[in-house]
């Protein structure tokens, strides 16, 4: 014999309680989703923005070195720094056909017209050649990994230490006329690798 099953009738108050609890849960889930989206987009935007700042600071220091910052600092280390910190948009553009043409013209000028090839184009030409001919291991794997960020951090530390030594001390690096702009440029080199490594740890 089959036992009769009874259904409880839902009253209007039960239905409204269920709907209001469901809406409350949806509202909380929406708030959490919006908070996470804002946090993640801010982190991604911050990393990209700091990458642009650090790359332009390295290019600024390279220009300073070729104009009026004649010190014994090994500024050729800025080339691998720029290689590892250059934003993907510019890196992809220079790694393509445009970069190949620029590299070919630079090599032809350097080989056949060495007297017409200015000294200040040596390092930018080396950067373009490095971007164009770098193997995929460097260009895609190490460049976007913690190894590339650690290399950038090591270069930044070395350049800051050499700049302080060349200026005659920590205080002189901030008080000399050309020391302030160079110190600010070198300090800006730290922002991208430190932030990127911090994001990897967190």
pLDDT tens digits for 42-90? 566 777 888 999 999 998 888 877 766 555 567 788 999 999 999 989 9
Cα 157 to Cα 66: distance, rounded to the nearest angstrom: 21
Q: What pLDDT is attached to residue 27?
A: 86
Asked if residue 108 has pLDDT above 80, the reply is yes
Cα 181 to Cα 178: distance, rounded to the nearest angstrom: 6
131 CB-near residues (< 8 Å, 6+ apart): 83, 86, 91, 94, 95, 99, 139
Cα 1 to Cα 11: distance, rounded to the nearest angstrom: 31
171 CB-near residues (< 8 Å, 6+ apart): none
Instruction: Evaluate whether 46 touches 195 at the Cβ level (below 8 Å).
Output: yes
The residue among 149, 143, 152 whose CA lies nearest residue 88 is 143
If one counts every other C-beta atom within 10 angstroms of the C-beta of residue 66, the result is: 17
Q: What pLDDT is attached to residue 9?
A: 55
Cα 151 to Cα 86: distance, rounded to the nearest angstrom: 13
Instruction: Evaluate whether 78 touches 123 at the Cβ level (below 8 Å).
Output: yes
Q: What pLDDT is attached to residue 8?
A: 57
Cα 63 to Cα 176: distance, rounded to the nearest angstrom: 19
């Amino acid at each position: 014999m089959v036992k009769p099953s009874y259904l409880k009738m839902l009253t209007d108050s039960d239905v409204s309680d269920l709907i209001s609890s469901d809406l409350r849960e949806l509202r909380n889930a929406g708030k959490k989703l919006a908070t996470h989206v804002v946090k993640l987009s801010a982190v991604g935007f911050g990393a990209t923005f700091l990458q642009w700042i650090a790359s332009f600071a390295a290019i600024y220091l390279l220009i300073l070195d070729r104009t009026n910052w004649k010190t014994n600092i090994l500024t050729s280390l800025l080339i691998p720094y720029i290689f590892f910190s250059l934003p993907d948009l510019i890196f992809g553009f220079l790694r393509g056909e445009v970069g190949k043409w620029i590299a070919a013209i630079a090599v032809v000028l350097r080989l056949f017209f060495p007297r017409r090839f200015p000294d200040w184009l040596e390092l930018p030409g080396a950067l373009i050649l490095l971007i164009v001919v770098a193997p995929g291991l460097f260009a895609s794997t190490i460049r976007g990994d913690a190894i590339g960020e650690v290399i950038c951090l090591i270069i930044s530390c070395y350049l800051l230490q050499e700049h302080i030594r060349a200026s005659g001390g920590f205080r002189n690096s901030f008080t000399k006329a050309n020391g302030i702009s160079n110190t600010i440029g070198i300090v800006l080199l730290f922002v991208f690798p430190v932030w990127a490594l911090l994001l990897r740890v967190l």
